[in-house]
Structure 1
């Protein structure tokens, strides 16, 4: 062991090898899935690899946290708009990564010490690392040393595989030019929209037998969704901040690793002569230019005399236009870097000590600056920021502590065999009822928004801990109702509405097809004129580009493909249906980019297309591996996110 430690001690990788060995020998934690406990149930099986539910839920939490940070307060709206099934994304990612890892193992990719060291230096710890900071990093990430090194080797092997695929996917110049031409060709498009909502008034109230027949054929549409009633106890991270035990070395570690955050900027004590620029300087004319030149010349004279050693206070009295500071010898006091303009900082702080700075120009004036004293930047004393750091650590660690407490109580509660209400009463915990049966989009309180949906996403778990950002919630399901279909009379008004919408949709589609058919038969085939004759509203969009058309109806895949693959102007031959509306399109102009302009961008586009080709090749490999693999997924994991 001594020889191994000496071999690696000079590299970043070596520091971590030594630290890993030391931490492992010291009993630093256990791997997330190490043996010794009861065998975990399998949520996903991929060939001979079993993925437990806990790992699926962990990765789901990580993905949700990523989206929450990205979308902020708009998280729920974005998730609904994008129709993202987070469960499906997590399951797909787990399957893809596992298959890739199995293929890497089959191909015999191995990460050497030098390659690992480079990865650590450039990506993981670009600023360097020692054993203490490595230990803190592992605690922050909740990883054992074995997991960290295993993850590192796995990630490097994945990079090697994707690099190999990228090398095999280099795009040609011709391919890049073709993509550029498609992306930068500009289209002018006119269109008419046929909205079924505008035809509902034309639909008569349906007959009773029509309504009954529609209900019989579409009864599933009126099903009441699954509903659940539950009790819950909230473990809020902020309630546990005071319980976090903080050691001096923790504070010192944060202070050292973030020293720039606690630095006081350098500052100067200065006097200044201000020569104000003339009013109306923005307007370029001979008079203004002459006045501006005169102001600059005046400032330059003062600068020369100041550098020659003349009394600066007297020069202020003679030259400065600033009436306020002129009375006190141009004194401006102590100024920290970053308070004034960038041009001021560049000139004044470049001196690094007393002296006369180069002429400073601001939008309003020319400044001649004398630096009387200079203080270098310095770190705030640790004791002055200790409380700030302790509060920061508490906020960072509190969610983990809250989660640990929730899981501790979960274990004790399950062992007790009691209801959550009984257990909570005995342990002085505040229990909250859901207030009856709730569908997945309903929550008992805005403070736990999304809780019911998460409960539905963890099927078969009557007692569970639900993680929600800075809250860990102990949940007891007390009642559950399956999907049920209400009788016709209860939903009759909804059936009437749906039947009328169906007929309005038929009328809108029929009108759009008739409009297109008549337009094609007309002599000039002018969409705007034809629409005007019928009292229809036409719209026009100019300079549409394939990569920039992000609004309806052009963002629709079918519409997008039909327009941006067209080689010449004209009517699109089919009516397009987009989100329940019908559209008739006419391409009026197509303007292709100049070849000389594309030549300037072709190298960068080659790189972009090569990366895209590599991703396509990787996905193709994953699809091939999926087809050959034996994969089993618990159907309960695939519950849709969207209500």
Structure 2
């Protein structure tokens, strides 16, 4: 049974379908199931969220992150990201929203449901919904139409109730004006920089101070646990001779992956570009047009298009290739360019085409119609894929059987070395890459999950299945101070230098408030600098760098006023004074009004929705079964 499950998960057809269906089905199938045993993870106003639903939601969330992070994804990251809590919170929120939909009499009509299902690309053939394909895909995943339609209806219902809640958000003209001011008001400051390295010679290092510092910081110097693995790779190539692939399997695989073998309509074209901005003046427009017409005339008189493109085209991406853009499908180019390119016959030269980039001349080299590659054209590829998949399964079975023999004491690792190449990794910490293996992060994760004396574990990868065991373990330890004294002393000096620089900056600010900025600068013997004007939102402070805290404080000051505290930015300590606050020209508000409204509305809608959800949670009776689900990992 386990092998069958693994086989189904590895099947590319099933993977493709799951990618389209799983988000709907996993999150919603199973609501309201009442188990005879207390197998629920939570109750929301009496509605149970059963364990199976929670496990599927957690698995789906983990899969999304696995796809995002690729081979870097591991169980430790899942724990650090709190996926267990996120999955349960997601299900609780959905239960509350479904109740809210019922309270508001929000429904999903049969017409809305049908339209949503028919729009799913996996259920379409030739761009149109295919009932046969729909039923075939559901059957392949052991989902009935009723189950899928119920889960889709729930998804649509959740979307509708969320939209209804978000629609309550409003943005006032006063908020738009305040945001415009906030974005466009500028400040100019004077500053004095205190460089910690200048204070390092003043730092006194005593054995007592260093020992005290090390005692407080010693965990930073802890050497991590290190492990090495011995392993055998069961590669699929060794099993391909035992694989048989039937014509029926090839035909079935081809049908399952039909979309993969569909070629969309495409053209291959060359172009020459005379670059011109959209907001060009009438005179600039005229000159560019005359120039492209002149180039077109040269081509009509016999000049080679590719040679001319290399000389005069202003598209750096295609110029050196003679203007060749390769094959592209519809939707890949700007509409003006695409419309002309797909209307030309091979070898035909276009009239000048204006796009946001400027003027183009287009010549189509080839026009490839949409088609479905027949089975015979891709048969070898399909057969290779099936053979590879089956060989990987045989490799896994061999590794798994060998592990069971190790566990039963029938063989030892020394015995394995007689028939297999047993390799050993160097000693590695949890954060170090494993050299020379596929899926190195997962390999490392398995290695650090092994107990001393454990016979081993298996790890499936695209390269084959690894059988690995713990070869050597060096525990983590905190070294004696003398072993890392140079490192510790250097860190202590830097810390103390920063403290002394900050103290000096504080003394400077106190003097500036008492005697005036100019007098304090003169007395300090340091040089004050003045920045260019900068805005509060976005971007760094000129000359100083990125510091939201500094900006927040500066824009709260009045001109001539110094900041209460110094700021540490990019390793330096800064004392600052506001020189000038430049109010924006409100005449520019109208041009920005709708853009600001849209941005603020999106933000407020998100806030309204989150606040509403929190209120629903606050008013709800939520019981979490701590015995059944752990939310700390």
Of 78, 85, 100, which residue of structure 1 is paired with 2:93?
Answer: 100
Q: For 1:201-280, what aligned pairs fall within 5 Å after superposition?
A: 201-206=201-206, 208-232=207-231, 247-251=250-254, 254-255=257-258, 259-261=262-264, 263=265, 265=267
1:440 maps to: 430
Deviation at 1:149, TM superposition (A): 5.0
2:81 counterpart SS class: helix
1:172 maps to: 172
1:247 counterpart SS class: helix
2:211 and 2:269 mapped to 1: Cα distance?
83
> What is the TM-score with the length of structure 1 in the denominator?
0.62
2:187 counterpart SS class: strand
Of 619, 624, 627, which residue of structure 1 is paired with 2:610?
Answer: 619
Deviations 1:463-511 (A, max 9, x none): 6666789887655456666654333333333332333233212112112
Structure 1 position 517 matched with structure 2 position 510: yes
Of 466, 470, 484, which residue of structure 2 is paired with 1:491?
Answer: 484
**Residues 171 and 323 of structure 1: CA distance in aligned 2, closer, same or farther (over 3 Å):** closer
**Residues 258 and 130 of structure 1: CA distance in aligned 2, closer, same or farther (over 3 Å):** same
Q: Retained in 1: the 8 A contact 2:425–2:434?
A: yes
Q: Retained in 1: the 8 A contact 2:96–2:617?
A: no
**Residues 225 and 253 of structure 1: CA distance in aligned 2, closer, same or farther (over 3 Å):** closer
Q: Retained in 1: the 8 A contact 2:434–2:444?
A: no
> What is the TM-score with the length of structure 2 in the denominator?
0.63
Deviations 1:276-302 (A, max 9, x none): xxxxxxxx99xx98x969x87996xx9
**Residues 164 and 394 of structure 1: CA distance in aligned 2, closer, same or farther (over 3 Å):** farther
Deviations 1:317-353 (A, max 9, x none): xx9364999xxxxxxxxx9997999999977975769
1:210 and 1:131 mapped to 2: Cα distance?
78
1:118 maps to: 115
Of 498, 506, 528, which residue of structure 2 is paired with 1:505?
Answer: 498
2:61 maps to: 59
2:10 maps to: none
Q: Retained in 2: the 8 A contact 1:509–1:582?
A: yes
| Structure 2 unpaired stretches of 5+ | 1-16, 22-27, 32-38, 271-281, 307-322
| Structure 1 unpaired stretches of 5+ | 1-18, 24-30, 35-41, 70-74, 269-283, 303-315, 326-334
Q: Retained in 1: the 8 A contact 2:187–2:582?
A: yes
1:606 maps to: 597
2:361 and 2:218 mapped to 1: Cα distance?
81
1:238 and 1:551 mapped to 2: Cα distance?
60
Deviation at 1:445, TM superposition (A): 1.1
Q: For 1:81-92, what aligned pairs fall within 5 Å after superposition?
A: 87-88=80-81, 90-92=83-85
2:584 counterpart SS class: coil
1:103 counterpart SS class: helix
Q: Retained in 2: the 8 A contact 1:337–1:345?
A: no
Deviations 1:346-376 (A, max 9, x none): 779757699x98856899x99999x9x9988
**Residues 366 and 198 of structure 1: CA distance in aligned 2, closer, same or farther (over 3 Å):** closer
Deviation at 1:512, TM superposition (A): 1.9
Deviations 1:411-460 (A, max 9, x none): 87358625897499399776543434x32112331645434764499799
2:548 and 2:573 mapped to 1: Cα distance?
15
**Residues 114 and 443 of structure 1: CA distance in aligned 2, closer, same or farther (over 3 Å):** same
**Residues 626 and 114 of structure 1: CA distance in aligned 2, closer, same or farther (over 3 Å):** same
2:374 maps to: 382
Deviation at 1:572, TM superposition (A): 2.5
Q: Retained in 1: the 8 A contact 2:231–2:424?
A: yes
Q: For 1:35-50, what aligned pairs fall within 5 Å after superposition?
A: 49=49, 50=51
Q: Retained in 2: the 8 A contact 1:347–1:358?
A: yes
1:593 counterpart SS class: coil
1:116 and 1:613 mapped to 2: Cα distance?
29
1:358 and 1:264 mapped to 2: Cα distance?
17
How many corresponding residue pairs? 542
**Residues 598 and 377 of structure 1: CA distance in aligned 2, closer, same or farther (over 3 Å):** same
1:165 and 1:255 mapped to 2: Cα distance?
41
Q: For 1:408-427, what aligned pairs fall within 5 Å after superposition?
A: 409-410=399-400, 413=403, 417-418=407-408, 422=413, 425=416
Q: Retained in 1: the 8 A contact 2:459–2:466?
A: yes
Q: For 1:344-355, what aligned pairs fall within 5 Å after superposition?
A: 350=343
Q: Retained in 2: the 8 A contact 1:265–1:376?
A: yes
**Residues 489 and 137 of structure 1: CA distance in aligned 2, closer, same or farther (over 3 Å):** farther
1:118 counterpart SS class: helix
Question: Which stretch has the larger CA shift, 508-517 or 406-415?
Answer: 406-415
Structure 1 position 577 matched with structure 2 position 568: yes
Q: For 1:463-482, what aligned pairs fall within 5 Å after superposition?
A: 476-477=469-470
Deviation at 1:137, TM superposition (A): 6.0
Q: Retained in 2: the 8 A contact 1:187–1:543?
A: yes
Q: Retained in 2: the 8 A contact 1:546–1:564?
A: no
Q: Retained in 2: the 8 A contact 1:577–1:583?
A: yes
Q: Retained in 1: the 8 A contact 2:251–2:375?
A: no
